[in-house]
Homo-oligomer: A and B are copies of this chain.
Amino acid sequence: MCRHGRFSGFVVGRQHSGDRCRTVTLRRHPPVVKAPRMQARITLEDVAALARGCAVLGTGGGGDVRPGAIAARRAIREHGEVPLVSLDELPDDALVLPLSGIGAPTVSHEMIHGEDEPVRIAEEVERIFGRPPAAVMSSEIGGGNGVAPVAWAARLGLPLLDADAMGRAFPEVQMVSMYVAGIPADLVVMADVAGNVVTIRPVDGLWSERIARAVCVAAGSSALMADYVLTARECAGAVIEGTVSRAIAVGRATEGAADPLAALTAELGAVRLLTGKLADLDRRTTGGFARGTATVEGTGDDRGRTLILEIQNENLVALEDGRVRAMVPDLITVVDTQTATAVQTEALRYGQRVTVLAWPCDPLWRTPKGLETAGPRAFGYDLDYLPVEKIA
């Protein structure tokens, strides 16, 4: 059995690299340590903690959490608190609607989603399946895509599933647990702020990404998307459970802490790569992505050291003296050194005092199929993956 309690089990290869669990032959094995359920509803007061946690899990991407938090609070005020349900609380044939914003984070700052996109997507899904969705799921717990589903669920009057498809943020449509679990990527429904609805029946996840990205760019580099509409039965073993509760716990860890950075590092089980200041930034928004590099020069105990972050919406690789300190799919997040608040890629500013943290990804991303999907080579880096805890 693997040591990561939240990992719910995938038939995705013969081994978990960097893990005691060498062979997974069951479609799903019960978590050894079940993460405690935080609450049965997401309240107004939970939104701030959820947003802070999602920002940390966003590894610089997934979109700014603030617009999602504003939308979530407004939707809770208008439509009431959002029930947070686990998979086993849903009937087997209940339709789960995994929603996410797609596009360049830099654009989503200025072009806010409307309120009707989830409604139009749910209508299209009901038209296709002959029944309405029963729950909303975040496709991506990291960044704004982890927070905004609270608003979308409230708007639809549906519960939110305590799960997501990444356990972090990733920039491309096919980089989801369902793809790694081998479920065919046969349906994507998109809605944009102008009112257009696009349904894609792709031949595979890579075409799904290619076409959805083109539609997104045509819509102004921002759209709402349902990817892999699934029954609850299909979700079992194909989504990462407990991640909404996890994000709230990460967000709560720094609340009232004397040393927020130490509290966050402990909660995440993270390695502190460097504490310093932002010395150089090279960012551009191209093809629907925010790409670039950020250079952090060490201060205090880390004076004289330099860390370079490679960015493609998310922080993908951390390099020091040409040597990799951490790499995707492990999580690399830049936080404010004083407050331990995560700094999104597009909020990086010259001179900022920051600390770079890195910690292990969900074990599913360390399987051969997981690494093929979202390992360093999937992003064009000619690197053999090494787990961050082994490098450290």
User: Which residue from B197, B200, B211, B217 sits with its C-beta under 8 Å from A201?
Assistant: B197
A198 and B196 contacting across the interface, CB-CB below 8 Å: no
Whether, in the assembled complex, A112 has its beta carbon less than 8 Å from a beta carbon of chain B, the answer is no
Chain B min CB distance to A122 (Å): 14
Which residues of B sit under 8 angstroms from A168, Cβ to Cβ?
A: none
Report copies per complex.
Answer: 2
Residues of B within 8 A of A195 (CB): 203
What residues on B are CB-neighbors of A127 within 8 Å?
128
B211 touches A198 (CB 8 A): yes
In the bound complex, CA of A200 to CA of B207 (Å): 16
Q: State the CA gap A201–B214 with chains docked (Å).
A: 16
- Kindly state the interface size class of chain A when it binds its partner: 20 to 34
- Identity of the chain B residue whose Cβ is nearest the Cβ of A207 in the assembled complex: B196
With both beta carbons as reference points, the residue of chain B lying nearest to A203 in the complex is identified as B195
* Contact string against B for A residues 218-233, beta-carbon threshold 8 Å, 1 for contact and 0 otherwise: 1100000000000000
- In the complex, what distance in Å separates the CA atom of A196 from the CA atom of B199? 11
Cβ of A210 within 8 Å of any chain B Cβ, yes or no, is yes
Contact B218 A214 (CB under 8 A): yes
Cβ of A21 under 8 Å from chain B: no
Q: Mask for A115-129, Cβ within 8 A of B = 1, else 0?
A: 000000000100110
Residues of chain B within 8 A (CB-CB) of A210 are 218
- CA of A211 to CA of B200 in the docked complex: distance in angstroms? 12
Q: Please name the residue on chain B nearest to A209 by beta carbon.
A: B218
List residues of A (16-60) whose CB comes within 8 Å of B's CBs. none
Give Cα distance in the complex from A128 to B197, angstroms. 14
Query: A217 contacts which chain B residues (CB < 8 A)?
Result: 214
Tell me if A213 is interfacial: C-beta within 8 Å of chain B. yes
Given A215-B214, A217-B214, decide whether A201 and B196 contact each other with a Cβ distance below 8 A: yes
Query: Is the C-beta of A202 less than 8 angstroms from some C-beta in chain B?
Result: yes
**Chain A residues at the B interface, C-beta cutoff of 8 Å:** 124, 127-128, 194-203, 207, 210-211, 213-215, 217-219
